[in-house]
C-alpha cells in the first residue's frame, strides 16, 4: 500500500515536472529566442511603383543592448520586386534578417502609387496578420524613399517626425487628417468607394524652400542612423492636405481649405482656428465645442446631403481691437465676424463639395449613407449618386459669452 | 445518483464554457456569409439552443437520473451503452475544430513568425490530465473560469467600444439572402454543442426549485454576450471582418492608450485563452465520462482519476493528436468537412436529442408531474414520489 502511494507521488511529481517543462517551452517559443543583434524593428515602410513592380523602403530601428553602451540607431533599406511582398523578401535577402512589421506604424505611398489601384498596392498589409491595422497611411509627392530619407531637425527618424505631423493634437485641430489601414479599407470598401489619406510635404527648416532628397540611394543601400544634425538640410514635415482616391484610383490632392472642411465633417474636432476678414480687418477666431457631420435625406427621389457644423467662437487675435487696449470682453466675437467665419467655413465645404462632384470622389460618404439608411433608393440610383447629389448647409457659430 | 456538481457550477459551465469557443473563428466565419447580419444566424441557432437547454434543465426538475440512466430504463442497457459510445465520439468530434482554432490562435498570436506544430503540443499534456479528472473537476474550474472570463471580456469590451460604429451593420436584413443565413448557421454549428452538454450534466447535480430557470438564464446571458460580441466585432471591422480570425485578440488594438503602454489588452486575451483551453478540455472530459459510462467504470476514485478514465483520456487525446498532425496545414479542409457534411451530426446530438428526454421520462412512467428517481443502475436514489 505504501509502495503504491510512493509510486503515485513519484508519478505526480514527474507529471508536474513534465508540465513545467512544457510550459517553459511554450513561453520561450521553444527556445526560439531572438538575438537582438540579428534583428531589426521596422517602424515605417515606403512604397514606390516602378516599371518592374515595386520598391519598398523599410526604415528600421536597430535594437541595441543596454549593457553594450550603444545608442539607438536606425537604418533604411530598399528592396525591389514584382509585388510588395517580394520587395519585402528582397529586403530580407539583403539584410540577413526578416523584417518584422509588427511595430510598423506608418506606410507611405509615393506619388507613383497613384498609377495603381490603391488596395492592390496595399494588399500585402491586409493579408499579413503581422502588420497592425493601426498603422497610419499617408501619401507624398515624389518618392516615398526620398521622403523617408529626409533628416528631421531633431536628427531622429523621419518616420517619427512624419507621425508627429499627423498627431492626434493636429487631428483634433482640423489641421491634419489621420487615417490608418483599417479606416482606409473601410472607406474604400464601402459603397462610396472613396478614400482619403494625409498628403505629406516637406521643406527645409533653414531656408523654408523645398529640398531635394539626400537620402540613401538605391536598392540595398542603407543610410540614416546616428544623431548628427544638419541645420541646413533639416526637413520639416507637414500634412495639411489630403490625397483623395475614388474607386481605388488617385483622384487628386485637396487644398488646405478643403482638407480643413473634410476634417470638420469626418473627425472629432476639439479646437479649430479660422482666420476671417471682416471690413478689411483680420480676425483670427478660435472655434471650440465643435460639432460637425454629414447626413443624407432623399427628397422626391433626389439625395440631399446635409452638412452641419456648429461651434463656439472667441477672438484669438484681431488687428482692429487689441486686447491690451483694455476693451472689455475682448474675446467676444462681433456678429459680422461670426457671419464672416460661418461664410468662410461654408466656402471651404462648398469647395470640397465641388471637388467631390468634379472628381467623382464621394469623400462625404453619401452613397454609403444612402446604402445604410435608404436602401431602396440606393438600389435605384447606385453608381450615380454624386451627379444627382444636392447639398444643404447648416452652419451655426456663436460667440462665447 | 452522485452529485458531482452544484447548481452554481452548472450555471457557470453553461455560461463560460459555451461562450468561450465562439469568440475565435465564428465572428469571421459568420461575417463571410452574412456581412453585417452576422448576428442573425447566431441568434436563430441560439434560440433553438436555449430551448434545448431549457428542455433538459426543466426535465431535471422531474427526474434526478442521468440521460443514460433514462435510456437504460426505457430502451435497455445495450441501447444506453451504444448511446454512451456515440456521445463519446460526438464530443471528441466536437473538440476537433476548436482544437485546430486554438492551435492557429496560439501560433498566430503568441508565436510571431514560427508556425510550428510543436508550439501547440503542450496542450495535450494538459488535456490528458484535465480529461481524466472528470466533471467534478470541471465544475471547480468553472468557478474560476467564469469570473476570469467575465472580467476579461468587460475589459476588452471597454477597450473596443470606442472604435465601434454600429452604422456598419446597416441596412439590417436587407442584403443577406436566406441561403446565406442558412450557410452561416450551418458552418458555425460546430460551435453549438450546448444542448448536448446540458444533456451530459443532467442528473449530475441536485436539483432545487428554480434551478432550470437559473441554468437557462445563465446560458441565455452567455448567448447575449456572444451576440453583443458579434455586433461589436462587425462594428469595428466591417468589410475587413471576414479576414479577421481570432477576433478576441484584435478587438482592442485600436484603443488609443495601447500605442503608449503597449499591448496590455493581451493580459485579458490570455485570461480568455485560459478559459478557452478549459472549455476545449471540457469536450474531452465529457467524452471520457461517456467512455467510462459505456465501459461501466467509475471515472474517479476519491480525488484521483481511475485507471479507466486515464486510459480513455490518453486514447481520446491520442486520436485528436493524430487528427491534428494529419490535418496540420488543412484547417479549411476540416472546416469545410464540418460545414458541408458533419453539421448534421451536431443537429442530431445538440438540437434533436436534448428535447427527447421528455419522451424518455414519460417512457419511464413518471407521469407528467411525477419525479422519476434513481441512480445510474448500481446506486439507487430516492424512491419515485409521483
ipTM: 0.85
Torsion sign across C-alpha atoms B308, B311, B317, B319? negative
Cβ atoms of A108 and A76 within 8 Å: the answer is: no
Q: Is B114 in Cβ contact with A32 (below 8 Å)?
A: yes
User: Rounded to whole angstroms, how far apart are CA atoms B86 and B68?
Assistant: 12
* pLDDT score for B106: 84
pLDDT tens, position by position, for chain A (401 residues)? 566 677 778 878 887 888 787 777 666 655 555 566 666 788 999 999 999 999 999 998 876 665 555 556 788 999 999 999 999 989 888 877 666 788 899 999 999 999 999 999 999 999 877 788 999 999 999 999 999 999 888 878 899 999 999 988 899 999 998 999 999 999 999 999 999 999 999 987 654 433 333 334 333 444 444 444 444 568 899 999 999 999 999 999 999 999 999 999 999 899 999 998 888 888 889 999 999 999 999 999 899 999 999 999 988 887 766 665 656 566 678 888 899 999 999 999 999 999 999 999 999 999 999 999 999 999 999 988 999 999 999 999 998 87
Residues of A in contact with B243 (CB under 8 A): 126-127
* pLDDT score for B230: 97
Percent with pLDDT over 90 in chain B: 75
Q: For B127, name the nearest residue in chain A, comparing CA atoms only.
A: A19
Residues of A in contact with B259 (CB under 8 A): 105, 134
Single out the residue of A209, A183, A74, A197 nearest to residue A138, CA to CA.
A197
CA distance B167 to chain A (A): 7
User: Rounded to whole angstroms, how far apart are CA atoms A74 and B309?
Assistant: 58
Which residue, chain included where needed, has cell 462632384?
A357
Query: What are the two backbone dihedrals, phi and then psi, of residue A48, each rounded to the nearest 5 degrees?
Result: -125, 140
Q: Is A19 in Cβ contact with B126 (below 8 Å)?
A: yes
Helix (H) or strand (E) holding A272: strand A271-278
Residues in chain B: 386
Q: Determine if the peptide bond prior to B171 is cis (ω within 30°).
A: yes
Residues of B in contact with A248 (CB under 8 A): none
Q: Which of B116, B122, B239 sits opposite A23 (nearest CB)?
A: B122
User: Rounded to whole angstroms, how far apart are CA atoms A312 and A214?
Assistant: 45
Q: Is A168 in Cβ contact with B114 (below 8 Å)?
A: no
Least confident of A154-158, A215-219, B357-361, B365-369: A215-219
User: Rounded to whole angstroms, how far apart are CA atoms A132 and B257?
Assistant: 15
Q: Which of B113, B114, B129 sits opposite A15 (nearest CB)?
A: B129
Chain centroid to Cα A213, Å, comes to: 22
* pLDDT score for A214: 37
What are A278's strand-pairing partners? A281
Residues in chain A: 401
* pLDDT score for B192: 96
For the cut 50, the answer to whether the pLDDT of residue B265 exceeds it is yes
What does pTM read for this prediction? Answer: 0.89
Tell me if chain B has a CB within 8 Å of the CB of A24.
Answer: no
pLDDT bracket for residue B366 (50, 70, 90):
low
Helix (H, G, I), strand (E, B) or coil at B308: helix
Query: What are the two backbone dihedrals, phi and then psi, of residue B223, each rounded to the nearest 5 degrees?
Result: -60, -40
Chain centroid to Cα A163, Å, comes to: 8
* pLDDT score for A35: 62
A–B interface: beta-carbon pairs under 8 A: 70
Amino acid at each position: 500500500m505504501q509502495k503504491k502511494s510512493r509510486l503515485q507521488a513519484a508519478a505526480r511529481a514527474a507529471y508536474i515536472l513534465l508540465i513545467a517543462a512544457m510550459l517553459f517551452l511554450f513561453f520561450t517559443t521553444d527556445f526560439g529566442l531572438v538575438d537582438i543583434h540579428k534583428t531589426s524593428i521596422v517602424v515605417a515602410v515606403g512604397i514606390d511603383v516602378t516599371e518592374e513592380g515595386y520598391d519598398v523602403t523599410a526604415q528600421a530601428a536597430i535594437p541595441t543592448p543596454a549593457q553594450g553602451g550603444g545608442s539607438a540607431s536606425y537604418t533604411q533599406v530598399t528592396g525591389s520586386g514584382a509585388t510588395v511582398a517580394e520587395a519585402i523578401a528582397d529586403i530580407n535577402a539583403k539584410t540577413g534578417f526578416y523584417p518584422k512589421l509588427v511595430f510598423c506604424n506608418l506606410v507611405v505611398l509615393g506619388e507613383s502609387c497613384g498609377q495603381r489601384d490603391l488596395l492592390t498596392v496595399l494588399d500585402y498589409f491586409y493579408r499579413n496578420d503581422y502588420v497592425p491595422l493601426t498603422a497610419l497611411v499617408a501619401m507624398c509627392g515624389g518618392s516615398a524613399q526620398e521622403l523617408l530619407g529626409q533628416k528631421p531637425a531633431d536628427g531622429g527618424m523621419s518616420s517619427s517626425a512624419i507621425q508627429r505631423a499627423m498627431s492626434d493634437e493636429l487631428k483634433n485641430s482640423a489641421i491634419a487628417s489621420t487615417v490608418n489601414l483599417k479606416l482606409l479599407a473601410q472607406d474604400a470598401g464601402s459603397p462610396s468607394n472613396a478614400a482619403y489619406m494625409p498628403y505629406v510635404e516637406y521643406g527645409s527648416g533653414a531656408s523654408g524652400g523645398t529640398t531635394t532628397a539626400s537620402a540613401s540611394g538605391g536598392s540595398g543601400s542603407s543610410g540614416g542612423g546616428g544623431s548628427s544634425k544638419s541645420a541646413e538640410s533639416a526637413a520639416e514635415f507637414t500634412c495639411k492636405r489630403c490625397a483623395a482616391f475614388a474607386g481605388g484610383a488617385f483622384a487628386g490632392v485637396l487644398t488646405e481649405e478643403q482638407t480643413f472642411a473634410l476634417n470638420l465633417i469626418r473627425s472629432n474636432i476639439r479646437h479649430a482656428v479660422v482666420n476671417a476678414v471682416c471690413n478689411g480687418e483680420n480676425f483670427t477666431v478660435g472655434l471650440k465645442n465643435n460639432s460637425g457631420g454629414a447626413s443624407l435625406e432623399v427628397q422626391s427621389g433626389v439625395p440631399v446631403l446635409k452638412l452641419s457644423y456648429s461651434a463656439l467662437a472667441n477672438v484669438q487675435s484681431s488687428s482692429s481691437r487689441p486686447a491690451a487696449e483694455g476693451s472689455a470682453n475682448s474675446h467676444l466675437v462681433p456678429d459680422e465676424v461670426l457671419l464672416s467665419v460661418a461664410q468662410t467655413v461654408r466656402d471651404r465645404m462648398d469647395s470640397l463639395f465641388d471637388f467631390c462632384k468634379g472628381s467623382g470622389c464621394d469623400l462625404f460618404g453619401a452613397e454609403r449613407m444612402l446604402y445604410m439608411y435608404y436602401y431602396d433608393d440606393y438600389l435605384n440610383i447606385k453608381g450615380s449618386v454624386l451627379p444627382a447629389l444636392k447639398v444643404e448647409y447648416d452652419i451655426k457659430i456663436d460667440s462665447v459669452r | 445518483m452522485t452529485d458531482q456538481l452544484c447548481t452554481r457550477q452548472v450555471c457557470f459551465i453553461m455560461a463560460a464554457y459555451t461562450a468561450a469557443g465562439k469568440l475565435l473563428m465564428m465572428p469571421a466565419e459568420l461575417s463571410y456569409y452574412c456581412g453585417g447580419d452576422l448576428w442573425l444566424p447566431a441568434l436563430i441557432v441560439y434560440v433553438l439552443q436555449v430551448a434545448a437547454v431549457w428542455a433538459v434543465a426543466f426535465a431535471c426538475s422531474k427526474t434526478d437520473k442521468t440521460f443514460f440512466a433514462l435510456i437504460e430504463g426505457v430502451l435497455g442497457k445495450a441501447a444506453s451503452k451504444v448511446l454512451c459510445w456515440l456521445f463519446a465520439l460526438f464530443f471528441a468530434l466536437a473538440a476537433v475544430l476548436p482544437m485546430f482554432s486554438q492551435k492557429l490562435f496560439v501560433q498566430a498570436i503568441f508565436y510571431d513568425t514560427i508556425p510550428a506544430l510543436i508550439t501547440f503540443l503542450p496542450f495535450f499534456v494538459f488535456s490528458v490530465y484535465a480529461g481524466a479528472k472528470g466533471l467534478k473537476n470541471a465544475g471547480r474550474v468553472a468557478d474560476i473560469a467564469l469570473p476570469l472570463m467575465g472580467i476579461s471580456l468587460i475589459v476588452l469590451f471597454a477597450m473596443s467600444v470606442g472604435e465601434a460604429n454600429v452604422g456598419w451593420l446597416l441596412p439590417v436584413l436587407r442584403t443577406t439572402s436566406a441561403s446565406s443565413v442558412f450557410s452561416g448557421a450551418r458552418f458555425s454549428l460546430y460551435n453549438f454543442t450546448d444542448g448536448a452538454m446540458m444533456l451530459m450534466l443532467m442528473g449530475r447535480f441536485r436539483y432545487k426549485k428554480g434551478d432550470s430557470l437559473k441554468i437557462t438564464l445563465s446560458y441565455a446571458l452567455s448567448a447575449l454576450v456572444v451576440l453583443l460580441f458579434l455586433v461589436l466585432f462587425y462594428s469595428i471591422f466591417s468589410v475587413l471582418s471576414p479576414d479577421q480570425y481570432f477576433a478576441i485578440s484584435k478587438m482592442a488594438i485600436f484603443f488609443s492608450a495601447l500605442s503608449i503602454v503597449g499591448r496590455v489588452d493581451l493580459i485579458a486575451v490570455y485570461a480568455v485563452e485560459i478559459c478557452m483551453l478549459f472549455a476545449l478540455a471540457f469536450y474531452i472530459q465529457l467524452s471520457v465520462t461517456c467512455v467510462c459510462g459505456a465501459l461501466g467504470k467509475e471515472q474517479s476514485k476519491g480525488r484521483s482519476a481511475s485507471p479507466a478514465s486515464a486510459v480513455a483520456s490518453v486514447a481520446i487525446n491520442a486520436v485528436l493528436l493524430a487528427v491534428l498532425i494529419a490535418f496540420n496545414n488543412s484547417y479549411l479542409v476540416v472546416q469545410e468537412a464540418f460545414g458541408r457534411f458533419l453539421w448534421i451530426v451536431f443537429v442530431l446530438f445538440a438540437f434533436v436529442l436534448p428535447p427527447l428526454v421528455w419522451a424518455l421520462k414519460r417512457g419511464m412512467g413518471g407521469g407528467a408531474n411525477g419525479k422519476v428517481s434513481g441512480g445510474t443502475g448500481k446506486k439507487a436514489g430516492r424512491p419515485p414520489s409521483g
